[in-house]
Amino acid sequence: MKNLSAFLICAGLTILLPVHAAAANVKVIANPNVKANSISAVELKSVYLGEKSSLDGMHVEPVLERSGPAHEVFVREYLGQSEDELQRYYRTLVFTGRGSMPKAVGSDAEVVAYVARTKGAIGYVSADANAEGVRTLEVSDLAASGPERKLISRIEPVYPEDLQKRLIGGIVRVKVVVAANGSVEKAELIGGNPILGDSAVAAVLKWKYAAAGSKSTLEISVPFEPRR
């Protein structure tokens, strides 16, 4: 648990706040057969993290760019991770058999071409990229509401021993409702390993935030790093 504690302190706990203005430099695109005209930031993140595979009842397939300005902004602003963190996350999915790495291509033009010819495909390109043959999706931020809240007291989650021994870890995501007085009213698992999620939820329910004028809804990412 000491190693886990150190990791949590170093990695921090990510709160998904309204998408930064830099995200305006990226547009999200989809194959024309995708019925949706918009996607929430939470749904988009879930699709790319392998937690959600459908949109409005239709199977969707994410595609990544390997590098470039649009990729850097998308990973940072929409997924809330660094490139290294994202690659570690995908390796964990593959290692545990819970998912696979999305297809990756080399440029905006390749993303557009792949999305245009692949049913259910979703991708991202630079805002000024030619997106002929695909549908541009509006991204709405439904991840957080209310004022930003400072965490002042945290109980660390228990890492189940059997999962730790089997090197099963990863990031779980929890939706948290914080009362005006700073207590956690509700915590709900929205992504990640359900066993690790139960542990994270049990801990988060005991957390305390700074008081505010109204309640807030936050999305929190809690990492579990197995000892090797």
Q: Rounded CA gap, 4 and 78, in Å?
A: 26
Q: What is the pLDDT of residue 175?
A: 86
User: Looking at 99, 125, 140, which one is the last position of a domain?
Assistant: 140
Backbone phi and psi for residue 88, each to the nearest 5 degrees, phi listed first: -65, -40
Helix, strand, coil % over all residues of the chain, rounded to 5: 30, 30, 40
Classify residue 38: in a domain, yes or no: yes
Please give the model's pTM, rounded to 2 decimal places: 0.59
pLDDT over threshold 80, residue 45: yes
Number of domains in the chain: 2
Shared domain for 188 and 203, answered yes or no, is yes
pLDDT over threshold 70, residue 60: yes
Nearest to 220 by CA among 181, 180, 185, 191: 191
Contact 139, 41 (CB under 8 A): yes
Q: What is the pLDDT of residue 2?
A: 44
pLDDT above 70 as % of the chain:
86
Backbone phi and psi for residue 18, each to the nearest 5 degrees, phi listed first: -50, 140
Q: What is the pLDDT of residue 19?
A: 44
CATH number, domain at 192? Answer: 3.30.2420.10
Residue found by looking up tokens 């305390």 in the block: 208
Structure tokens belonging to residue 76:
């940072």
Q: How many CA atoms lie within 13 A of 193 on its CB side?
A: 23
| Mean confidence (pLDDT) of the chain | 84
pLDDT over threshold 60, residue 4: no
pLDDT over threshold 70, residue 11: no
Q: Flag the least confident range among 70-74, 92-96, 159-163, 198-202.
A: 92-96
Look at phi and psi of residue 161 and say left if phi exceeds 0, alpha if psi is from -120 to 50, else beta. Answer: alpha
**Model confidence pLDDT, tens digit, residues 119-145:** 999 999 999 999 999 999 988 764 445
Contact 26, 74 (CB under 8 A): yes
User: Looking at 140, 160, 190, which one is the last position of a domain?
Assistant: 140
Binning pLDDT at 50, 70 and 90, where does residue 23 land? low
Shared domain for 75 and 162, answered yes or no, is no
